[in-house]
């Protein structure tokens, strides 16, 4: 188990609660709330040598709302929310005393081994909306059976920290320790994680440490001190504060801020029993501009990152951390002891961008299989599972971009032949490549358009595109490698066995190092039919695990001395016949 995070906040005592808050430049601090009828000045707090102010009261009860009354050095007084509040009435409301009385049904969940993990990224607000209302943790729970049936064993939640308003992607954290009340608050998140664990599904939390806010941000100039009219004690107050989301980069050089972020990371893993973290836009932690030129590095950010990953690996090694870095450096996933940042894996820009580029070509002559070969064979840190491979994520399907099938057939996804065929090619590449595969919500039933935090996920498409869903589900089941016939897909080795750039036919073999446990994948990335086509380097006695032709999945294909009839955008996945019953 992870150790308990340590830091200021609210702690239950024998008869009441102890409150502590870091405000080193305050002239005085007091506490006010429901327990004293919001009288001001409130309960006086004592300053400690480390700049933390403390008090205890027996009048406070769980569920009471409260704030800190901070008087700055100039004598001005403001009310501020607790930076470590676990619950808020809303992002501009009050802090709430949260008693953790949740009864977990699954105490010691362990996710499947990393080589079998399949991630599904989802957004609570849109994943399952009912009656036109915002989605919640509880409505999302109602659809977990669908993910379990699909074969998903890891969920990545877009951020659920308290954000400005009730509708958001979540990447504007107003109160980093509080869980969005519109989603169901901390108990709602615990219900969701517990329900996922009961189905054998782990949960990864998306966290944002490259900036806070920028709106509804009570930690801004928290104790009245700032320089250059910037953010005060939680933020850089010079040029390092600048981010695309305002002057809101945390001051990674202050130990108290480092503790704040580290304790937040550990909170998700310990208090909420999450199974990992995905850190948003790490380049904007490591550098001022995010350009990664080496000219504006922030050295203390590297130390913070290493500290968080090192602590997680020491305290709870089964948890994973994922970097959205996209600059393709080995040091992101190299071990901390070897000078690396220590992430388990990184989102792989060397996969998503070239694969989408190939599949969105409207002219077959422009398809370059060498681009796919590079994407298939890329590794970081000498480890095939140090990368997350995907063709859709919240970033890839918004901000001027759309879902892959929408890019292929704008406004006509449902009826378009190319959207259907290339969408399946994309899923096959993701689910048969070495790495940790990831799907984005709705990808399994060919969801259209682009991601919008007010647009419902259209679950009726499960029925409308049942054959497509069935094929994706089959690919997911194969990727889990639970039999001798499919275990090669969980291996780290990829060998290119066929590359015909003239006819646009690519073949590769996946293996786990065990003799006779390989899987062969052959893809036709063009819109023509090839009769009596010779596939090279086939298994000695090929047995079909999956085939896709003209919108239908099947396991029935004919191979005569290596010759096949290869349909447009056809897919064949094969193993040795001797493995078929294993």
**Which three-class secondary structure state does DSSP give residue 140?**
helix
The answer to whether residue 324 is catalytic is yes
Q: What are phi and psi of 572, to 5 degrees?
A: -125, 130
Which DSSP category does 381 fall into? T
| Assigned CATH for 491-579 | 2.60.40.1180
The answer to whether residue 99 is catalytic is no
* 114-212+269-480 and 491-579, same CATH topology: no
pTM: 0.96
pLDDT attached to residue 582: 63
Among residues 525, 527, 564, which one has the least CA distance to residue 544? 564
Among residues 494, 501, 510, which one has the least CA distance to residue 574? 510
**Which three-class secondary structure state does DSSP give residue 157?**
strand
Task: Please report the beta strands in 406-470, taking only residues with DSSP state E, as ranges in sequence order.
Answer: 436-440
**Of 156, 271, 275, 280, which residue is the catalytic one?**
280
pLDDT attached to residue 2: 37
**Of 324, 396, 444, 517, which residue is the catalytic one?**
324
Instruction: Domain ranges for the chain, please list them.
Output: 9-80, 114-212+269-480, 491-579
For the chain, helix, strand, coil in percent to 5 are 25, 25, 50
**Which three-class secondary structure state does DSSP give residue 153?**
coil
Superfamily in which the 9-80 domain is placed by CATH: Immunoglobulins (2.60.40.10)
Q: Going residue by residue through the chain (582 aa), what tens digit of pLDDT does each one get?
A: 333 334 689 999 999 999 999 999 999 999 999 999 999 999 999 999 999 999 999 999 999 999 999 999 999 999 999 999 999 999 999 999 999 999 999 999 999 999 999 999 999 999 999 988 999 999 999 999 999 999 999 999 999 999 999 999 999 999 999 999 999 999 999 999 999 999 999 999 999 999 999 999 999 999 999 999 999 999 999 999 999 999 999 999 999 999 999 999 999 999 999 999 999 999 999 999 999 999 999 999 999 999 999 999 999 999 999 999 999 999 999 999 999 999 999 999 999 999 999 999 999 999 999 999 999 999 999 999 999 999 999 999 999 999 999 999 999 999 999 999 999 999 999 999 999 999 999 999 999 999 999 999 999 999 999 999 999 999 999 999 999 999 999 999 999 999 999 999 999 999 998 888 999 999 999 999 999 999 999 999 999 999 998 777 676 788 999 999 999 999 999 999 988 876
Q: Which two structure tokens, joined as six digits, stand for 7?
A: 């830091």
| Burial (CB count within 10 angstroms: exposed 0-12, middle 13-18, buried 19+), residue 133 | exposed
For the chain, how long is the longest CA-to-CA vector?
88
What SS3 string covers 520-561?
EEEEECCCCCEEEEECCCCCCCEEEEEEEECCEEECCCCCEC
| Assigned CATH for 114-212+269-480 | 3.20.20.80
pLDDT attached to residue 349: 98
Cβ contacts of residue 4 below 8 Å, gap of 6+?
270
**365 with 371: CB under 8 angstroms?**
no
């Amino acid at each position: 188990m992870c150790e308990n995070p340590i830091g200021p906040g609210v702690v239950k005592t024998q008869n009441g609660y102890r409150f502590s808050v870091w405000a080193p430049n305050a002239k005085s601090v007091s506490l006010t709330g429901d327990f004293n009828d919001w009288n001001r000045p409130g309960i006086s707090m004592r300053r400690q040598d480390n700049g933390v102010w403390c008090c205890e009261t027996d009048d406070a009860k769980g569920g009471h709302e409260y704030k800190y009354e901070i008087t700055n050095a100039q004598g001005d007084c403001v009310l501020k929310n607790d930076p470590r509040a676990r619950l808020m009435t809303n992002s501009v409301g009050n802090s709430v005393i949260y008693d953790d009385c949740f009864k977990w049904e699954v105490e010691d969940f362990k996710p499947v081994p990393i080589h079998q993990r399949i991630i599904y990224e989802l957004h609570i607000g849109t994943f399952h909306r009912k009656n036109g209302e915002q989605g919640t943790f509880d409505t999302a729970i109602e659809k977990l059976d669908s993910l379990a049936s699909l074969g998903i064993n890891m969920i990545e939640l877009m951020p659920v920290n308290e954000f400005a308003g009730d509708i958001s992607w979540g990447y504007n954290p107003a109160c980093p320790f509080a869980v969005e009340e519109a989603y169901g608050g901390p108990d709602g998140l615990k219900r969701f994680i517990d329900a996922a664990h009961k189905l054998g599904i782990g949960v990864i939390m998306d966290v944002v440490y490259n900036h806070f806010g920028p709106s509804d941000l009570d930690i801004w100039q928290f104790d009245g001190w700032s320089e250059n009219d910037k953010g005060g004690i939680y933020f850089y107050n010079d040029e390092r504060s600048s981010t695309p989301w305002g002057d809101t980069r945390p001051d990674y050089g202050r130990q108290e801020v480092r503790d704040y972020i580290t304790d937040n990371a550990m909170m998700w893993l310990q208090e909420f029993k999450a199974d990992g973290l995905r850190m948003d836009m790490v380049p904007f932690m490591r550098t001022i501009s995010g350009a990664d030129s080496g000219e504006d590095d922030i050295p203390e950010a590297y130390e913070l990152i290493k500290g968080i990953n090192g602590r997680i690996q020491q305290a709870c090694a089964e948890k994973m951390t994922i970097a959205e870095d996209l600059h393709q450096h080995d040091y992101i996933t190299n071990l901390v002891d070897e000078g690396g940042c220590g992430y388990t894996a990184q989102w792989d820009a060397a996969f998503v961008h070239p694969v989408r580029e190939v599949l969105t070509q409207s002219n077959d002559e422009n398809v370059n299989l060498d681009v796919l070969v590079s994407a298939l064979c890329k590794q970081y840190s000498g480890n095939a599972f140090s990368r997350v491979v995907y063709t859709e994520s919240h970033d890839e399907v918004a901000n001027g971009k759309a879902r892959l099938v929408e890019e292929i057939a704008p406004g006509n996804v449902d009826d378009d032949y190319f959207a259907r065929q290339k969408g399946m090619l994309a899923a096959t590449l993701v689910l048969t490549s070495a790495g940790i595969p990831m799907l984005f919500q709705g990808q399994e039933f060919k969801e259209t358009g682009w991601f919008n935090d007010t647009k419902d996920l259209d679950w009726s498409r499960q029925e409308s595109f049942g054959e497509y869903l069935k094929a994706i589900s089959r690919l997911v089941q194969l990727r889990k490698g639970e039999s001798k016939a499919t275990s090669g897909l969980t291996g780290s080795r990829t060998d290119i066995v066929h590359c015909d750039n003239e006819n646009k036919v690519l073949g590769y073999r996946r293996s786990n190092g065990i003799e006779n446990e390989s899987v062969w994948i052959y893809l036709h990335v063009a819109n023509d039919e090839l009769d009596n086509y010779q596939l090279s380097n086939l298994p000695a006695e090929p047995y079909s695990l999956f085939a896709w032709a003209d919108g239908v999945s099947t396991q029935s294909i004919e191979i005569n001395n290596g010759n096949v009839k290869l349909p447009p955008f056809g897919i064949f996945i094969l193993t040795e016949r001797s493995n078929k019953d294993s």
